[in-house]
Amino acid sequence: MGYTLYLFSMCRRACILLASPIEEDDEDMQPTASDWSRGLHSARKTLRLSRNRLSRIAGVSAETIKAYELGLRHPTRSLLVAILDGLKLERNARNNILADAGFSPDGGSLGPDRFSGYQFSPQSAKCHVDAMPWPAFILNDYAEVTCCNPLTERLWGIELEREFPNMLDRNMLSVASNPRFADRVENWEEMMRVGIGVFKGHHLGAEAIDNASPYFSRILERFLQGDPKYVGRMMNLWQETPPHEPKVRWEYEVHWNEPGIGRMSFLAVVNTANADDGLAFNDWMPVNAVTWQRLGRLRRR
């Protein structure tokens, strides 16, 4: 109880300090004041900090802060960074002020990715997808399924490790002409455009059918062994589909027709799991109640 009262009193004191008026320091901005000067002034006012208080926090004199805010002096990088550290601005605002002042942004070095556990390891990514209530799996740089949760295996009708020990056979394009999968995808062409766009705009080098890399040649070999009706359609789609610009998050739709259960619709969301290792989460999230119900039936089957 005593500690709770202490925390309450400290929070109350902080609220009183924030609510109390700050001393007048609203001198007119110079007409030539830069965006970074205005950004500093606005950020401090938003936090209801006086220049004297910010001076104590940042270790920069109040007169220097005043000169910066009014556009009377150009900052050194070290002093500007000290003020920004004291303000604890979110990284986009911080980067904008630094760039406007002529310095390189440093937000990238302050992100949570500097902590060792921020990115998923292959093992922790597997544990994560296993806990998902919808089909979820991990793809690597070349769209190979590195792991998937049990519901994905049930939906696809596979045992990943036993049936597909070769990673080339786990490539999403390798199996796109296999009727075992392709016949169940109602929006097959739409999904193919997604895969084609990824390879045509690949960050490790754009792929082309007439000048394929050794890896992509092996993928094409597997695709060409599939149903001719899908092979022909893919060749036409390749010509029509623009490259996909890599993003840390993107989406595609999946409309899946499961024999004995019916149509299920998903929004597939792709998020980076580990940028260094090229791993990405693929979550096939149900978009309606019917799909949730049918997934439940599939899980019990």
* Structural element, H or E, at residue 267: strand 262-274
Domain with CATH 1.10.260.40 in the chain: 16-110
Measured in degrees and rounded to the nearest 5, phi and psi for residue 58 equal -90, -15
The pLDDT tens digits for 88-111 are 988 888 999 999 999 998 877 777
Domain with CATH 3.30.450.180 in the chain: 122-300
Residue of 239, 223, 241, 222 lying closest to 231 (CA atoms): 223
Provide the CATH number for the domain formed by 16-110 in this structure.
1.10.260.40
pLDDT at 226: 92
The pLDDT tens digits for 3-48 are 454 444 555 554 444 444 445 455 655 556 789 999 999 999 998 9
Which residues have CB under 8 Å from 3's CB, separation 6+? none
Residue of 88, 40, 48 lying closest to 64 (CA atoms): 40
Which residues of the chain carry a pLDDT beneath 70? 1-32
Provide the CATH number for the domain formed by 122-300 in this structure.
3.30.450.180
* pTM above threshold 0.95: no
pLDDT at 29: 58
